[in-house]
Amino acid sequence: MKVRRMLGALGVATVLAPLLFPLYWMVMSSFTQEARLFAAPALVPDALVLDHYRALFGGRDFWTPIRNSLIVAGATTGLSVGLGALCAYALARLQFRGKTVMLAFVLAVSMFPQISIVSPLYLLLRELRMINTYPGLVLPYLTFAMPLTIWLLVGFFRQLPAELEEAAAMDGAGRLRSLREIVLPLAWPGLATTAILTFLYCWNEFLFALSFTLGPERYTVPVAIALFRGQYQVPWGQILAAAVVATAPVAAIVLVAQRRIVAGLTAGAVKG
Protein backbone atom coordinates (compact mmCIF):
# COMPACT_ATOMS: atom_id res chain seq x y z
CA MET A 1 0.00 0.00 0.00
CA LYS A 2 2.80 2.33 0.95
CA VAL A 3 4.68 1.46 -2.23
CA ARG A 4 1.57 2.19 -4.28
CA ARG A 5 1.15 5.57 -2.69
CA MET A 6 4.78 6.43 -3.30
CA LEU A 7 4.45 5.35 -6.91
CA GLY A 8 1.40 7.58 -7.16
CA ALA A 9 3.32 10.54 -5.78
CA LEU A 10 6.13 9.78 -8.20
CA GLY A 11 3.62 9.73 -11.04
CA VAL A 12 2.20 13.10 -10.01
CA ALA A 13 5.71 14.53 -9.84
CA THR A 14 6.73 13.28 -13.29
CA VAL A 15 3.59 14.82 -14.76
CA LEU A 16 3.87 18.09 -12.91
CA ALA A 17 7.59 18.81 -13.17
CA PRO A 18 7.87 19.40 -16.94
CA LEU A 19 4.55 21.26 -16.99
CA LEU A 20 5.39 23.61 -14.16
CA PHE A 21 9.16 24.09 -14.44
CA PRO A 22 9.11 26.66 -17.28
CA LEU A 23 6.58 28.70 -15.31
CA TYR A 24 8.63 28.43 -12.13
CA TRP A 25 11.72 29.54 -14.02
CA MET A 26 9.84 32.48 -15.54
CA VAL A 27 8.65 33.69 -12.13
CA MET A 28 12.04 33.20 -10.44
CA SER A 29 13.94 34.93 -13.22
CA SER A 30 11.58 37.89 -13.20
CA PHE A 31 12.76 38.55 -9.63
CA THR A 32 16.46 38.20 -10.48
CA GLN A 33 18.87 41.02 -11.23
CA GLU A 34 19.48 41.50 -14.96
CA ALA A 35 23.22 40.93 -14.57
CA ARG A 36 22.65 37.56 -12.93
CA LEU A 37 19.98 36.25 -15.32
CA PHE A 38 22.48 34.38 -17.45
CA ALA A 39 25.31 34.15 -14.95
CA ALA A 40 25.25 31.26 -12.53
CA PRO A 41 21.50 30.81 -12.30
CA ALA A 42 20.48 29.00 -9.14
CA LEU A 43 17.37 26.84 -8.81
CA VAL A 44 16.42 28.64 -5.63
CA PRO A 45 17.22 32.35 -5.69
CA ASP A 46 19.08 33.95 -2.79
CA ALA A 47 17.39 37.32 -3.13
CA LEU A 48 14.21 38.54 -4.77
CA VAL A 49 14.57 41.81 -6.65
CA LEU A 50 11.60 43.95 -7.66
CA ASP A 51 13.56 46.10 -10.15
CA HIS A 52 11.94 44.67 -13.26
CA TYR A 53 8.41 45.23 -11.98
CA ARG A 54 9.26 48.79 -11.00
CA ALA A 55 10.67 49.45 -14.47
CA LEU A 56 7.63 47.83 -16.06
CA PHE A 57 5.04 49.97 -14.32
CA GLY A 58 7.19 53.04 -13.72
CA GLY A 59 9.27 53.51 -16.86
CA ARG A 60 7.21 51.59 -19.40
CA ASP A 61 3.64 52.26 -18.41
CA PHE A 62 2.51 48.66 -18.66
CA TRP A 63 -0.86 49.73 -17.27
CA THR A 64 -1.90 50.96 -20.71
CA PRO A 65 -1.75 47.57 -22.46
CA ILE A 66 -3.44 45.96 -19.44
CA ARG A 67 -6.28 48.47 -19.65
CA ASN A 68 -6.54 47.97 -23.44
CA SER A 69 -6.69 44.20 -23.07
CA LEU A 70 -9.34 44.41 -20.34
CA ILE A 71 -11.52 46.76 -22.40
CA VAL A 72 -11.26 44.78 -25.63
CA ALA A 73 -11.64 41.35 -24.03
CA GLY A 74 -14.47 42.57 -21.78
CA ALA A 75 -16.43 44.22 -24.60
CA THR A 76 -15.98 41.25 -26.92
CA THR A 77 -17.05 38.82 -24.22
CA GLY A 78 -20.13 40.86 -23.28
CA LEU A 79 -21.22 41.34 -26.88
CA SER A 80 -20.69 37.77 -28.01
CA VAL A 81 -22.22 36.15 -24.92
CA GLY A 82 -25.23 38.48 -25.20
CA LEU A 83 -25.91 37.85 -28.89
CA GLY A 84 -24.70 34.27 -28.64
CA ALA A 85 -27.08 33.38 -25.80
CA LEU A 86 -30.15 34.40 -27.83
CA CYS A 87 -28.94 32.55 -30.89
CA ALA A 88 -27.90 29.45 -28.94
CA TYR A 89 -31.22 29.30 -27.10
CA ALA A 90 -33.11 29.27 -30.40
CA LEU A 91 -30.78 26.64 -31.88
CA ALA A 92 -31.03 24.45 -28.78
CA ARG A 93 -34.70 24.78 -27.89
CA LEU A 94 -36.87 25.97 -30.75
CA GLN A 95 -38.10 23.87 -33.65
CA PHE A 96 -37.63 25.53 -37.01
CA ARG A 97 -36.23 24.78 -40.44
CA GLY A 98 -32.67 25.72 -41.15
CA LYS A 99 -31.38 24.96 -37.66
CA THR A 100 -28.96 22.23 -38.69
CA VAL A 101 -27.60 24.36 -41.50
CA MET A 102 -27.07 27.24 -39.06
CA LEU A 103 -25.14 24.99 -36.65
CA ALA A 104 -22.97 23.68 -39.47
CA PHE A 105 -22.37 27.27 -40.57
CA VAL A 106 -21.26 28.28 -37.07
CA LEU A 107 -18.95 25.27 -36.85
CA ALA A 108 -17.47 26.03 -40.27
CA VAL A 109 -16.76 29.65 -39.35
CA SER A 110 -15.07 28.55 -36.11
CA MET A 111 -12.53 26.72 -38.30
CA PHE A 112 -11.69 29.76 -40.45
CA PRO A 113 -7.96 30.53 -40.39
CA GLN A 114 -7.59 34.00 -38.88
CA ILE A 115 -4.83 34.94 -41.31
CA SER A 116 -7.23 34.51 -44.25
CA ILE A 117 -9.36 37.46 -43.21
CA VAL A 118 -6.64 39.84 -42.01
CA SER A 119 -6.42 41.68 -45.33
CA PRO A 120 -10.12 42.48 -45.89
CA LEU A 121 -10.61 43.36 -42.22
CA TYR A 122 -7.64 45.71 -42.42
CA LEU A 123 -9.03 47.42 -45.53
CA LEU A 124 -12.52 47.56 -44.01
CA LEU A 125 -11.31 49.06 -40.73
CA ARG A 126 -9.15 51.54 -42.63
CA GLU A 127 -12.17 52.59 -44.66
CA LEU A 128 -14.17 53.07 -41.44
CA ARG A 129 -11.23 54.86 -39.76
CA MET A 130 -11.21 52.24 -37.04
CA ILE A 131 -7.59 51.09 -37.23
CA ASN A 132 -5.97 51.56 -33.81
CA THR A 133 -9.30 51.89 -31.97
CA TYR A 134 -11.11 49.62 -29.48
CA PRO A 135 -14.06 48.86 -31.80
CA GLY A 136 -11.42 48.11 -34.44
CA LEU A 137 -10.35 45.15 -32.31
CA VAL A 138 -13.73 44.11 -30.90
CA LEU A 139 -15.27 43.64 -34.38
CA PRO A 140 -12.50 41.33 -35.65
CA TYR A 141 -12.56 39.45 -32.33
CA LEU A 142 -16.21 38.58 -32.96
CA THR A 143 -15.02 36.31 -35.80
CA PHE A 144 -13.78 33.75 -33.31
CA ALA A 145 -15.76 34.77 -30.19
CA MET A 146 -19.25 34.47 -31.70
CA PRO A 147 -18.89 30.90 -33.03
CA LEU A 148 -17.20 29.90 -29.76
CA THR A 149 -19.96 31.25 -27.53
CA ILE A 150 -22.79 29.91 -29.70
CA TRP A 151 -21.21 26.46 -29.89
CA LEU A 152 -20.62 26.25 -26.12
CA LEU A 153 -24.01 27.69 -25.16
CA VAL A 154 -25.99 25.38 -27.45
CA GLY A 155 -24.39 22.53 -25.50
CA PHE A 156 -25.25 24.04 -22.13
CA PHE A 157 -28.85 24.93 -23.06
CA ARG A 158 -29.48 21.40 -24.32
CA GLN A 159 -28.50 20.01 -20.93
CA LEU A 160 -31.24 21.95 -19.13
CA PRO A 161 -34.39 19.93 -18.39
CA ALA A 162 -37.15 20.72 -20.89
CA GLU A 163 -39.93 20.06 -18.36
CA LEU A 164 -39.53 23.40 -16.60
CA GLU A 165 -40.12 25.30 -19.79
CA GLU A 166 -43.07 23.09 -20.65
CA ALA A 167 -44.57 23.83 -17.26
CA ALA A 168 -44.04 27.56 -17.81
CA ALA A 169 -45.72 27.28 -21.22
CA MET A 170 -48.71 25.58 -19.55
CA ASP A 171 -48.94 28.54 -17.22
CA GLY A 172 -49.15 30.75 -20.25
CA ALA A 173 -45.66 32.16 -20.22
CA GLY A 174 -44.37 33.00 -23.68
CA ARG A 175 -41.06 31.70 -25.01
CA LEU A 176 -39.27 34.98 -24.34
CA ARG A 177 -40.55 35.16 -20.79
CA SER A 178 -39.52 31.62 -20.03
CA LEU A 179 -36.12 32.37 -21.56
CA ARG A 180 -35.71 35.36 -19.28
CA GLU A 181 -37.18 33.94 -16.10
CA ILE A 182 -36.38 30.25 -16.27
CA VAL A 183 -33.69 29.37 -18.77
CA LEU A 184 -31.20 32.18 -18.19
CA PRO A 185 -31.18 31.91 -14.38
CA LEU A 186 -30.72 28.14 -14.65
CA ALA A 187 -28.08 28.44 -17.33
CA TRP A 188 -25.83 30.87 -15.50
CA PRO A 189 -23.07 28.31 -14.83
CA GLY A 190 -22.93 27.66 -18.56
CA LEU A 191 -22.98 31.37 -19.29
CA ALA A 192 -20.15 31.92 -16.80
CA THR A 193 -18.05 29.14 -18.32
CA THR A 194 -18.63 30.52 -21.80
CA ALA A 195 -17.72 34.03 -20.67
CA ILE A 196 -14.53 32.76 -18.99
CA LEU A 197 -13.37 30.86 -22.06
CA THR A 198 -14.20 33.72 -24.41
CA PHE A 199 -12.34 36.16 -22.17
CA LEU A 200 -9.29 33.85 -22.14
CA TYR A 201 -9.22 33.62 -25.95
CA CYS A 202 -9.49 37.41 -26.26
CA TRP A 203 -6.85 38.06 -23.58
CA ASN A 204 -4.42 35.77 -25.43
CA GLU A 205 -5.21 36.82 -29.00
CA PHE A 206 -2.19 38.10 -30.90
CA LEU A 207 -2.51 38.21 -34.71
CA PHE A 208 -5.47 40.61 -34.98
CA ALA A 209 -4.15 42.85 -32.21
CA LEU A 210 -0.77 43.01 -33.96
CA SER A 211 -2.41 43.76 -37.32
CA PHE A 212 -4.97 46.36 -36.31
CA THR A 213 -3.11 48.48 -33.75
CA LEU A 214 -0.40 50.97 -34.62
CA GLY A 215 1.08 52.25 -31.39
CA PRO A 216 1.70 51.57 -27.70
CA GLU A 217 -1.44 53.52 -26.73
CA ARG A 218 -3.63 50.75 -28.21
CA TYR A 219 -1.37 47.67 -27.91
CA THR A 220 -2.91 44.78 -26.01
CA VAL A 221 -0.80 42.88 -23.48
CA PRO A 222 0.49 40.16 -25.89
CA VAL A 223 1.44 42.75 -28.53
CA ALA A 224 3.14 44.99 -25.98
CA ILE A 225 5.22 42.08 -24.69
CA ALA A 226 6.10 40.73 -28.12
CA LEU A 227 7.29 44.13 -29.32
CA PHE A 228 9.30 44.76 -26.16
CA ARG A 229 12.80 45.47 -27.32
CA GLY A 230 15.55 47.35 -25.60
CA GLN A 231 17.65 49.78 -27.56
CA TYR A 232 20.75 47.60 -27.59
CA GLN A 233 19.84 44.33 -26.00
CA VAL A 234 16.82 42.28 -25.08
CA PRO A 235 15.58 43.40 -21.63
CA TRP A 236 14.91 39.85 -20.44
CA GLY A 237 14.15 40.82 -16.85
CA GLN A 238 11.37 43.17 -17.87
CA ILE A 239 10.05 40.79 -20.53
CA LEU A 240 9.74 38.02 -17.95
CA ALA A 241 8.12 40.36 -15.43
CA ALA A 242 5.60 41.34 -18.12
CA ALA A 243 5.07 37.66 -18.91
CA VAL A 244 4.30 37.02 -15.24
CA VAL A 245 1.84 39.92 -15.20
CA ALA A 246 0.12 38.61 -18.37
CA THR A 247 -0.07 35.12 -16.89
CA ALA A 248 -1.33 36.08 -13.43
CA PRO A 249 -5.00 36.74 -14.30
CA VAL A 250 -5.10 33.62 -16.47
CA ALA A 251 -3.61 31.54 -13.67
CA ALA A 252 -6.15 32.97 -11.22
CA ILE A 253 -9.01 32.10 -13.58
CA VAL A 254 -7.70 28.56 -14.04
CA LEU A 255 -7.32 28.07 -10.28
CA VAL A 256 -10.85 29.25 -9.54
CA ALA A 257 -12.68 27.83 -12.54
CA GLN A 258 -10.76 24.70 -13.60
CA ARG A 259 -13.77 22.42 -13.35
CA ARG A 260 -15.88 24.74 -15.46
CA ILE A 261 -13.14 25.16 -18.04
CA VAL A 262 -12.73 21.42 -18.44
CA ALA A 263 -16.50 21.06 -18.77
CA GLY A 264 -16.52 23.75 -21.45
CA LEU A 265 -13.59 22.31 -23.36
CA THR A 266 -15.01 18.83 -23.46
CA ALA A 267 -18.70 19.66 -23.88
CA GLY A 268 -18.35 21.67 -27.06
CA ALA A 269 -15.69 21.21 -29.64
CA VAL A 270 -13.27 24.02 -28.99
CA LYS A 271 -10.35 24.79 -31.18
CA GLY A 272 -7.03 25.14 -29.47
Partner 1 sequence: MRNEARLGWALTLPALAAIAMVAVFPIFWTAWESLHFHDLRMPWLGRPFVGMANYVEAVSSERFWGAMAHTAVFTAATVTLELAGGLVLALIVDRFSRGRDLVRTAVLLPWAIPTVVVALVWRFLFESPAGIVNGVLLRLGMSPPTWFADATAVWVPLILADVWKMTPFVAVLLLAGLQNIDRSLYEAARIDGAGWGRQLTDITLPLLRPALLVAFIFRSLDAFRVFDVIYVMTGGGPGTATEPIALLTFSSLLQNLRFGFGAALSVIVFVVSFIFAAACIRVLGRDALMERVP
Site residues (CB under 8 A) for partner 1, limited to 132-161: 139-140, 142-143, 146-147, 150-151, 154-155, 158-159
Q: Which of 31, 53, 62, 203 binds partner 1 (CB under 8 A)?
A: 203
| 39 is a contact residue toward partner 1 (CB under 8 A) | yes
| 232 is a contact residue toward partner 1 (CB under 8 A) | no
Q: Which of 104, 128, 164, 167 binds partner 1 (CB under 8 A)?
A: 104
Minimum distance from CB of 41 to partner 1 (Å)? Answer: 6
- Burial code (b: 16+ CB inside 10 Å, e: under 16) for 34-62 equals bebeeeeeeeeeeeeeeebbebbeeebeb
Which of 101, 215, 208, 196 is CA-nearest to residue 152? 196
Minimum distance from CB of 185 to partner 1 (Å)? Answer: 18
| Cα 37 to Cα 233: distance, rounded to the nearest angstrom | 13
| 116 is a contact residue toward partner 1 (CB under 8 A) | yes
User: If you compute the radius of gyration of the chain from its CA atoms, what whole number of angstroms results?
Assistant: 23
# residues near partner 1 by CB under 8 A: 101
Minimum distance from CB of 268 to partner 1 (Å)? Answer: 7
| Cα 38 to Cα 35: distance, rounded to the nearest angstrom | 7
> DSSP class of residue 47?
-
| 272 is a contact residue toward partner 1 (CB under 8 A) | yes
